[in-house]
Structures are given as C-alpha cells and as structure tokens.
A and B are shown apart, each in its own frame.
Chain A
Amino acid sequence: MANTNQLKVIYGDGTLGVGGDDFHYIFNYGRGGIESLVIGGKEWCYREPKPTFWRATTDNDRGNGFSVKSAQWLGADMFSTVKSIDVKINGQLIDFPIAPENNKYSNHEYADEVAVVFHFETNTVPATPVDVTYTVQPGGSILVNAHYTGNQNLPELPVFGMRFIMPTPATRFDYEGLSGETYPDRMAGGEAGVYHVDGLPVAKYLVPQDNGVHMATKWVTITRDSVKSNMDNSKVPFSLKFAQVDQPFAFSALPYTAEEFENATHIEELPLPRRTVVSILGAVRGVGGIDSWGADVESDYHISAGEDIDLTFKIERV
C-alpha cells in the first residue's frame, strides 16, 4: 500500500483520474480540461475551466470603441480550443496515456505529483498559444498556471485569466484583498482587509456590464450549500479556496458569464442565478472615466497583447 500522501492515478481511456483521501479529480482529454473536481464528496465543476479573455462591454468600452477593436477576444473567450495535451508524472513528461499506451497501467498506480498541460490556441487572427497547467500536489492542492503567449498582431485584451463555472450558486464568498469593486485604475479607495460577501451580488449598472472585480487578492473562498447530485440533499456549507502563489490576483465571483452580461440590456433580463462563475484574473484592463464617448483608458491600464501574461494560483480545500 502506498503512503497516504501519494496520489492515486487512474490512466483512463478518455480521462486521467487523480484521487486521494477525500478528493478526486478527472481531467478529460476530449473536453479539454478538468471535468470533475470533487472534494469531500462535493462537485465543483459544472463545465471545464477555460482561459477567459472577455469582459462584458462597459459603457466606457462602448463609448471609446474598445470592444469593437478587441472583438476577437469575445470569440476567443467562447471558442478557443485545445490543440494538444501533455501529462507529467512526478515532473516527467510521459507518453500520452491512451490505449494502447495505457494498457501497461493497473488500478494501483500512484504518484507524488501529477501535471496535465492543456495547450490552447486562441480563436483569433493570428492565433496565439495559451498553456494551462494543472499540477496536482500531494494532499490534493492544485497549482494552476495559465500562460498567454504575447503576439503584437492582436488587439489589446479586456482581461486574461481562468474562468471556473460551478454547478450551483454560491451562498457567500470571503476574500483577503481590497474592499468593494476595484479595477487597476480605480483601486486607491479599496481598503485592505478580509471581507465577507453574501451571495453573488451583481452591481446593478443600468445596462449589465463587467462588474464585481476585486484587485490585489491574496485568497478567495467560495462557499456553496447545494450540489446537483440527486443523492445529496445536504445544506451543510462547503468551500473551495483560490490562493495566490507569488503574486496577488484579481477575481470576480458572479452568477453569470461575460457573455450573459453582454447580451442583456437590463438587469432583469439576466437569467435566474443558477451557477457560480469565478474568474481568477492575471490581467485586468482599467475602466477609464475621462468621458464615455471616446476617451481611452489611461495607457498604464491597458493590457498589451504583445507581451506574455503569466498567472499562477492554487486551488485548495478549506
């Protein structure tokens, strides 16, 4: 019997399973990401996490034409695809473990560390690589690295990060960072501290638009009290934590995707909240404010497409 800190690895035919004491993760090769992330019996994935490139057009974005100029990133947000996948066991790249390659494994395979790298390509012209690496560590923590490869021929980005969609709405979230909604060019008024937010509030701008970003965050914990499983009616809250590794990150926790916000002209047109959309962001464009009919966001708060962006954070049980 392997020591309990080790990860059990299931070399499946379409997936790679990685499990431990009270967690089990499934990386789906065909779907291109984590299909299942179960901790303490609770599922955290509604659909696979993906890189995110879009924010719902703000009034200022509309006024200065930013979302028109950068419209390619909306397509990238919705339709970027995985071109190839690598699996690394204990830091070593292995031959891709599908049949017949995986015939050599058993139901008793263990490792200290399992990494799966999804090589995305953006649906832009030109395309550019985005590599997303999940490294499952002993005990079940997942180190996530998303790396955007700069390309000067692409328009400026609205955001860059990873978007997680959870099966049910969060009842609360807690974070250590700045008070209120903050953006790179509007964060001086945010006071550092540990904050608790009930539910998944949406800032009720007349036309739904990007909202709820929290800059300079050390960690955020999402708490839910329900799952979709027909055999689990418990209302006992359970939580998942996203934590910084080296650098703080920005995040939003909302009931909707950028595309859902984008399509609504009034807040009441948004669907009933059914899920939790958590975006962990490595780069955020400022909101601007000189005027709403043409003035650009100050240049310090643009996201150049020409430079690499690297985002690393950790997913942990609570």
Chain B
Amino acid sequence: MSHENATQADIGWLDDPEVFRVNELPAHSDHRFYRTADEADAKHSSYVQNLNGDWRFAYAKDPQSRELNFYEADFDSSNFDTLRVPGLVEFAGYNQIHYINTLYPWEGKAYRRPAYTMGPNEKELGMFSEAKDNHVGQYVKKFTVDPALQGNDIRIRFEGVETAMYAWLNGHFLGYAEDSFTPHEFDLTPYLTDGENTLAVEVFNRSTASFLEDQDMFRFFGIFRDVSLIAQPAVHVEDLSIKPTVNDDFKSGKLQVGAKLAGNPAGATLQLNVTDANGQPVYETKATAESDDRIADTPFDQIHLWDNDDPYLYNLTLTVTDQSGKVLEVIPYQFGFRRIEINQDKVIMLNNKRLLIKGVNRHEWDAKSGRTITMADMKADIATFKKNNINAVRTCHYPDHISWYYLCDTNGIYMMAENNLESHGTWQKNGAVEPSDNVPGSLPQWKQAVLDRARNNYETFKNHTSIIFWSLGNESYAGDDIAAMNAYYKKVDPSRLVHYEGVFHNPKYKPQISDVESRMYASPKEISEYLDDNPQKPFILCEYMHDMGNSIGGMKSYMDLFDKYPMYQGGFIWDFIDQAVEVKDEVTGQKVLRYGGDFDDRVSDYEFSGDGLMFADRTEKPAMQEVKYYYGKY
C-alpha cells in the first residue's frame, strides 16, 4: 500500500476505507517468548515491559479542537489529565456512554453513507476527519526502556484500541491502525533514546472502520487492552505455526511446526521438544535457523485426542540458541490433536464423532469497566461454562483478549473465532433488508480492509486448538468482499471450517460463503423445514434463545432437533452476559446496574443491552439451570 513507510500522519486516512494500517508490523502468532526456561515456567518474560498505568490524556470533542502538535517530542503535556491504561474513555467520564444495537451511533445526529456506496466518485472526504461527533483522545506516555530490554530491537504492542489510532515516538510518526480488537505493533527501534522517551497516541472515536464495527454493544473508544514494549532477541521466532493433524485411524497423527525468523539467524539453532500432558518427552528435534521455516514434520504413532470432555494438550517448547550455545528465547505453546470435518453425510464431525454445539455467544464485559476485562473475569466465565455444560463459544463479534483463547484450549471449549466485522446498519433498517449502502458488499475499496481483519484474526490465533470455526463476522450481508474473506481462510487453513450467517440474506453467495448453513433465531419449525428439504450444508444456529430478561422458554424444541436430525449441530445462545454498567445510584448511593438510554444516550435500544445468561455482575440468571440441564443431557 502506498502509505507504507509514511513519515507523516494524515488525518484524511480516517475517511479512506483503503487506509486501515500504516507501518504496522504484520500480524503474527500470539506465542509468548522468554529469555530462559525458568522465565517460561514462571510465565514472566523479561523481554516484555508493561506500559499499563497512568498516562497523560487530553480529550477533544472533535478533530478541530484537538492539540495539533501534542505528539512533538518537546510538547508540554503537563496540563493534560491522567487516564488509566487500559481503560475506556467513557468510564473516565470524558465521553457519553452510549448503547445502540443495529443502527449506527450517529443515527439522528449525522447523515452518513459509506464512501463509494453512492458511486465510484463518492469518496465522502471529511466525513470523519472533519466531523463534529468524532471525539479524540490524545495520550502521552513517558517511559524509559528497562535495562533488560536494552540492546535489542524493540516494538510496541497495543492489544486493543477503539476505533482508529495514530502513534508517535519522540515526535517521529510510527503508524496508523484500525481493527479495534486485534493487536497493533510498531517498530520503535529507530526512534528510541536511552533516557526518557515520549510516546504519543491519538485515538479517534470514528473512522471508516466505524462502518465495520456496528456490533450490538455499548459504543466506546480508547486504549482498552494492554500496551507493552517487547524486545526481540537477536534471533527471534516472529511467527510460529503449529499444525497437528489426526490420521484416519484417529489414533495416530502428524505434527508440523514452522517458524518464521527475524534477526540474523546465522549459526542459530532451534531445539524443539514436545512432551505429553504429564511432561514425558514424546518428540524432539533440532534445526538450524537458516534451513527452512519448517522445523518439524513428524508422525505421531499414538496420539491422545483433545475434546471438551478431555482437553488433552501436549507441551511444545521451542528454544532458540545462538552459535555460542546461548539461549536467546524459549517459546512454550500447548497444542492438541483434534480433527474437524464435514463427512459424506454432511455432518460436522469432531474426532469422528458428531459435533454437538452447546454454545453461547460471549461479549467481553465487565460492569465496572466495559470491554476492559480482567483475567479474573475470564476465569470466572470458564468456570461458569464448565459448571453449566456449555461446551462452545462464539467470540461475538470480534476477536477477544488473547488469554481467552488459551483458556479455551486448556478447558476444551469449542470456539467459533469471529472476525471484527459487523455492518448491520448498512443493510438492515427497521428490520427490513435494504442493502443499498451496504459495506463491504462487493466494493473494491472496502475489500482490503475486511481481508486485513481476516488475516489479523487468522495469523494471531491460528495455533489455538480450541478454534474449530473461523467466522467471517456478523450481520454484514454478503458480497464479493466477504466471499474473498471466505476464500482467504480456505487458502490458509484447510483444517478448520468457515462460518458466516449473513449469506442467508443474499443466498446467491451460498456456494462461495460458509461451510455451514447458519441462521439466527430461526424457529424450530423453520429449522425442520430446512433440514427436511434436501439440505446442502449442516445446520448451526449462530444465535438462538434470546435471553433478554426472563426468557429461555421452549428450549426443549431446539434440543429435540438433536435427536431428529444428524445435520442439526446445535447453536450458541444469545448471549452469555448482560451488558450493563455499574454506577452509584444518584438517589440511594447504592451500586446499581444501568443499561442503554440511562446515560441520556440517544438514539438507544435501551434494555436490549441485557440478554445474558448472567447478570452483568456475573451472577447467574435463574434460567441458567435450564441451560445446564439441556446442555448436560446431550
């Protein structure tokens, strides 16, 4: 892209769907790496310096009101406020908390049509860069590089920033990023100084990416996930590929491991060790770094399969040493053997057994901090899954915190890993299908942006055993661009299935999009009609049993379909946890939970934000015992 290697930020990128990443390092696997085996055991890497904490912050109500030179190295930010990172700007009181479901958050306040939807010359310049409703957060963080990181190449990683961000170091432009829910990395090495460094980040609430992030959720902005400095050893595994495959006998398999190296690999060695769940060695090999990126391709005569009942994981350790024998990095990664496929009867099989999805959709949510969630939240959710026989999760409708994927691996949760994509307001209005301004549609100007989202999702999470479906996104209609996303996944990952529901509304794309027939909120009768009428694909409900308030009545009729139709494979309840915000009641002073519209936020969909099996305080709704019963019965 022509903007690569840009040395100056351009606010016009906010308006241009063809600019979505500038100078970002390519997406890569989420493996963690350590200086020593001891560090790996302790899960603490001295190559990583956490930058979370108090940052300086200034809020501007629109782009015109912002400090234009705030990123300069000598800018005096001493009159800025202080904001906690990670955290959402709204929770610090700068921006109005707002919930809306399918319509865009500017409904009734700004008229917008996505660039190029009204014609090839309709670029809509200034739509966001000059918008009165495009709030801006300007962040400044001063830091000194820890001695443990010094002497190495150093990058910065933002794990989640809504919605569009620019970054500078010591006044030098680093880059620009969209796709709020996958990591953004920029190389800091050329601009770092030994002493104090000044990082400046400018986060915009809206950009063309907003059209792709119209998920049914509170609309927030800010740096809402962790920020870290990461030092790279002289030889470094930039990308790791672990491909365990299961043979037709379901007793033996094959392991392929590949690594893409960064740095100067001359003379370096890669030592690969695999142990079973008890720590007993089952495989080891050694490769030279220059040889190839394939460091193992080996049969496993006996494998222990991974599934929900028995989430058996092998421990892989990759150790990189330099020519003097000094360990440069140690990479631990757990993987499992499992095989997902559609058989000749058009039934989805996991390890040669029919897959029954007893799932939930899960938004990331914490009533105290919105989409900034904690490890404790994630562990509590896993415990709730296990207790209530929930075996599957759809990461609705964006990639989750990285730790969630590891937790699903170790706990045997079948994951539908969804892209960050929903353009609901561009094709469905007042319940009717009206796609005249749909994006991405078949517009060439939007294609690369959504493909980038697919690539980010795949490259980051590809090694997670728990992922059995890639999902192209949610409720975005269908066209050539989503078909291209499907083709991308098919090309890079034949080992998993691809899911997309939106093609239901534009069925001519069905041959190109989705391995499964997915619907949402279809009645049991409608499902029977599909399955009785020469079905071409196995059936999944990507959303069903809408648990708004006092609900989950009639679940039996869905569960009976398991008994009647082999091609009925289950579904994901909408949804896991209410989205509601804890506030202090202005009358009683008690902590209470508030929903859409409670912040004078208009236009809103009010209590529609609360559809969870859990209340927002993570206590179970009464209906959970019904879910536990039926999900336990099958």
Contacts and interface: CB of A to CB of B under 8 A. Distances in A.
A239 interface: no
Interface string A270-298: 00000000000000001111111101011
Given A189-B628, A266-B592, A290-B523, A60 B556 contact: no
A59 B551 contact: yes
Given A209-B549, A211-B622, A287-B551, 14 more contacts: A59-B548, A59-B550, A181-B622, A183-B553, A185-B554, A186-B554, A189-B629, A190-B625, A287-B552, A289-B551, A292-B611, A293-B431, A295-B521, A298-B554
B549 A58 contact: yes
Interface in B588-634: 588, 590, 592-595, 598, 607-611, 615, 621-623, 625-630
B563 to A, nearest CB: 14
Contacts of B556: 185, 188
B146 interface: no
A204 B367 CA distance: 14
A186 B553 CA distance: 5
B550 A60 contact: yes
Contacts of A286: 553-554
Contacts of A268: 585, 587-588, 590, 592
Interface in A130-189: 179-181, 183-189
Contacts of A207: 549, 595, 607
A189 B549 contact: no
Given A209-B550, A286-B553, A291 B627 contact: no
B213 interface: no
Task: Name the prevailing secondary structure of the A interface residues.
Answer: loop
B545 A289 contact: yes
Interface of B: 431, 521, 523, 544-557, 578, 580, 585, 587-588, 590, 592-595, 598, 607-611, 615, 621-623, 625-630
Nearest to A294: B431
Nearest to B590: A268
Contacts of B545: 289-290
B552 A206 contact: no
Interface of A: 58-60, 63, 179-181, 183-191, 203-207, 209-211, 266-268, 286-293, 295, 297-298, 301
Nearest to B580: A206
Nearest to B549: A59
Given A186-B626, A268-B587, A287 B592 contact: no
8 contacts: A59-B551, A60-B549, A185-B556, A205-B610, A206-B580, A268-B587, A289-B545, A301-B554
Nearest to A203: B622
A301 B551 CA distance: 13
Contacts of A206: 549, 578, 580, 593, 595, 607, 609-610
Contacts of A181: 550, 622-623
Task: Name the prevailing secondary structure of the B interface residues.
Answer: loop
Contacts of A209: 549-550
A292 B548 contact: yes
Contacts of B615: 204
A206 B583 CA distance: 13
A309 B166 CA distance: 68
Contacts of A191: 625
A290 B549 contact: no
Given A189-B628, A203-B622, A290-B523, A297 B553 contact: yes
A60 B608 CA distance: 11
A268 B585 CA distance: 8
A289 B625 contact: no
Contacts of B598: 266
A187 B623 CA distance: 9
Given A179-B625, A189-B625, A297-B554, A266 B594 contact: yes
Contacts of A189: 625-630
Contact of A185 (B521, B553, B587): B553
B633 to A, nearest CB: 8
A263 to B, nearest CB: 15
The 10 closest A-B pairs by CB, nearest first: A189-B629, A59-B549, A181-B622, A185-B553, A189-B626, A189-B625, A287-B553, A206-B610, A292-B548, A289-B551
A185 B554 CA distance: 5
A294 B218 CA distance: 23
B530 to A, nearest CB: 15
Nearest to A207: B607
Nearest to A183: B553
B553 A180 contact: no
A32 B535 CA distance: 62
